[in-house]
Structure 1
Amino acid sequence: MSSEDIPAAPNPKSYSPDHITLFGVALNIENGAAYLPLDGNRLKLAVVKFGSDTPEDPRGMVIAVVYGYAFEGHCYRLDQPKLFVFETRTTGVPAVGCGFDGGGYVMWQITKKTRMLELATSADLAEELVLNASLPGNRSPNTYGNRYQLAHRGGRLNRGGVSD
């Protein structure tokens, strides 16, 4: 069995049956902010408390790209990396197991009840993100008109009281 199939063992001092290990890369290490490229500029993402301009400590609130996770002794890879913001009591430690050993990956221990925020990002031309995304066939099905016709057996709304 390779390390691709074996997750790192959870911390035995704080075992929890709903324990999840996330594998990824923390983005808010530099001054508590994450910097993402945008047309030669850098977009700054930071977690700040309401009414403050000071970014939260990345050891408590993490902005991370997550590539996979381990749960109940099994490793899982996400279809595509996801950008999450979540609170953790542990700092990201170098990843062990599930094929994430080395390469700068870290892991975080959370539970199923940990509140998270997923940030969905797309970078492209306005033509693609606005215009082409709205073309028929590319939109979510719930954006189309919800017209339907109610059909009943024999074309009747009720079965009794109407004679043929």
Structure 2
Amino acid sequence: DEEHAGKEICFGANETHLSIADVTDKSNPVALSRASYPNVAYSHQGWPSDDHKYFFLNDELDELSGTQSRTRTLVWDIQDLDDPILLTEYMGETAASDHNLYVRGNLVYESNYVSGLRILDISDPANPVEVAHFDTVPWGPDAPGFAGSWSNYPYFQSGNIIVSSMREGLFIVRKRERPVS
């Protein structure tokens, strides 16, 4: 957003909405926008795309509250910070609750509690596609709740990804490229 180039911007997942603020002047933050979405339960956490055009948001309780039957990731077009637009809602393959997600390049790395780490290709942000996963609790049902993968860290230059799981420990994994056939 050229209007806000060079400014320090804060994105907040604030329980019921996404809020965006200019926090360049720490003694005088300025609210830029506030946007909600259908079937909100608990807007929890999100991360911008590397090009700062999109924001990927999770709602931690929508699966548990029954407003969603599958893991939902909300994709916002933030090219106008004063007017973010909900671009799409990606529905995952399981009903697991989503917790923390991070973006690196064209991939979103989601820690989705019992269903573990899910990796989405966001080359086309309007149509995310799951390309890999690592289940930290393979014996558990992929249902809503608070066990399993809490968070992850996909920023090591080596390509290693750290995945923390609440009871199972810490995993070091790497996304494997699928063979071309």
TM-score range, shorter chain: under 0.3
Q: Determine which structure has the larger strand proportion and give its number.
A: 2
RCO higher in structure (CA 8 A, sep ≥6): 1
TM-score w.r.t. length of structure 2: 0.23
The structure in which a higher percent of residues are helix is 1
